[in-house]
Amino acid sequence: MSYTLIIGNKNYSSWSMRAWLLMRLAGVAFDEVVIPLYRDGSQTAVKDLGGETGLVPVLISDAGPIWDTLAITETLHETCSGIWPADPARRARARSYAGEVHSGFNALRDAMPVNTRGRNRQPEINAPVKADIDRVCDIWATAGQYAEGPWLFGEFGAADIMFAPVASRFQTYGIVPTEEAKPYYDALLSHLYIKEWFALGESETDTIPMFELTARTC
């Protein structure tokens, strides 16, 4: 099986980050095509490559294009081990967490756009954003509860990958997780694949002004 992963800017694209981390977790070789986002023609370029929505990421396999991160996750699960937990109960909860990230946390994502190389940025923390932060911390605090180790369900997997861009947002905007959630937050930011993605984003020169919120001055 051959794979090509179409992604956006590594510094800014949270869903691209998740798909790229999934490919690294799966341990499969893949080619990579980067489409700079928020430019004239970006969505057309993605559509021309097979992404029917014009959004990234898109995974092109021998079977055709897959243009949603959860669909990519499930496709890799069919052929690769370690994507979801083997235990059915843990797998169901892991998928529930992933679905919650996929469809929720809208206030948090709107207030704190991903900018992995940014630091000390100033977001507006209103009640809906605070509620999202609290929910994230409640989930992170369950690390080690369902299986031993620093991750949510034993081995590093798809559920952890779903939260990697959230951890990057906390780092960018100076959000301090609760005491119970902090060990998991620290583990995410220290993971080899995530650090590799951050380094690749750091090396990019593209800037998307709408995602560059003002830094704190004190």
> pLDDT by residue (tens digit) across 122-174?
999 999 999 999 999 999 999 999 999 999 999 999 999 999 999 999 999 99
Task: Examine residue 207 and state whether it is found in any structural domain, yes or no.
Answer: no
What per-residue confidence (pLDDT) applies to 170?
98
The predicted model gives 201-209 an average pLDDT of 94
* CA 19 – CA 25 distance, rounded (Å): 10
Element holding 110 (H helix, E strand): helix 106-111
What range defines the domain where residue 128 resides? Answer: 88-202
Token duo for residue 95: 């998928």
- What's the longest Cα–Cα distance across the chain? 53
Return the percentage of the chain with pLDDT > 70, whole number.
Answer: 99
What per-residue confidence (pLDDT) applies to 1?
82
Task: Examine residue 212 and state whether it is found in any structural domain, yes or no.
Answer: no
The predicted model gives 56-64 an average pLDDT of 96
Q: What CATH number does the domain containing 164 carry?
A: 1.20.1050.10
The reply to whether the predicted model has a pTM over 0.85 is: yes
Reported as a pLDDT band with limits 50, 70 and 90, residue 213 is: confident
Q: What CATH number does the domain containing 33 carry?
A: 3.40.30.10
Domains identified in the chain, total number: 2
- The answer on 55 and 113 residing in a single domain is no
Task: Examine residue 69 and state whether it is found in any structural domain, yes or no.
Answer: yes
Examine the fold and report which residue of 35, 60, 79 is the final residue of a domain before the chain moves on: 79
Task: Examine residue 75 and state whether it is found in any structural domain, yes or no.
Answer: yes
- The answer on 104 and 152 residing in a single domain is yes
Reported as a pLDDT band with limits 50, 70 and 90, residue 216 is: low
Task: Examine residue 57 and state whether it is found in any structural domain, yes or no.
Answer: yes
Reported as a pLDDT band with limits 50, 70 and 90, residue 217 is: low
